[in-house]
Amino acid sequence: MKKSLNIDYQIFSDISQLDETDRRLLEMARSALDKAYAPYSGFQVAAALMLDNGIQIVGTNQENASYGLCLCAEQNILATAGSEHFHSAVKVMAITARSLNKPVDHPISPCGACRQVLSEHEDRHQQPIRLLLQGETGEILCFASAKDLLPFSFSAKDLL
């Protein structure tokens, strides 16, 4: 039996097409790029999120000479949100990136590990996280749920 999977998402040609809240989050993420610590890859990633209580948080990637210990912006920001605002769900997250080596003119998507962490956060709060993805320039992709990027995620229901 063959099945197919379709993912719905929106494309915005530039930030002016976003509503005020989304525009502000993306601008916050862009501003946070300067706080990224990426001396090895030169690839800086920043995220900004809004919780269901209206609080907004930013986070960035933090590299390490031992590459396996590098921390992604998405995981950093979700850990901060979970630690400081344990009972609050993330409503929306904006993610952007820039490279010191070449322009990033297309949306950057979370890595597989970050997709799993995002999925777990959605499960934990029983609420989707809307994602806004953009590079330094170019179009913006909007997904209604982080699970759209990881449709066959591992979850608590898979544990025995």
Q: Report, as residue numbers or ranges, the catalytic residues.
A: 74
Helix (H, G, I), strand (E, B) or coil at 121: helix
Phi-psi region of 126 (alpha: psi -120 to 50; beta: other; left: phi over 0): left
Give the span between the Cα atoms of 129 and 26, in whole angstroms.
15
Instruction: With beta carbons less than 8 A apart as the criterion, state whether 55 and 124 touch.
Output: no
For residue 85, what are the contacts with CB-CB under 8 A and spacing of at least 6?
51, 53, 55
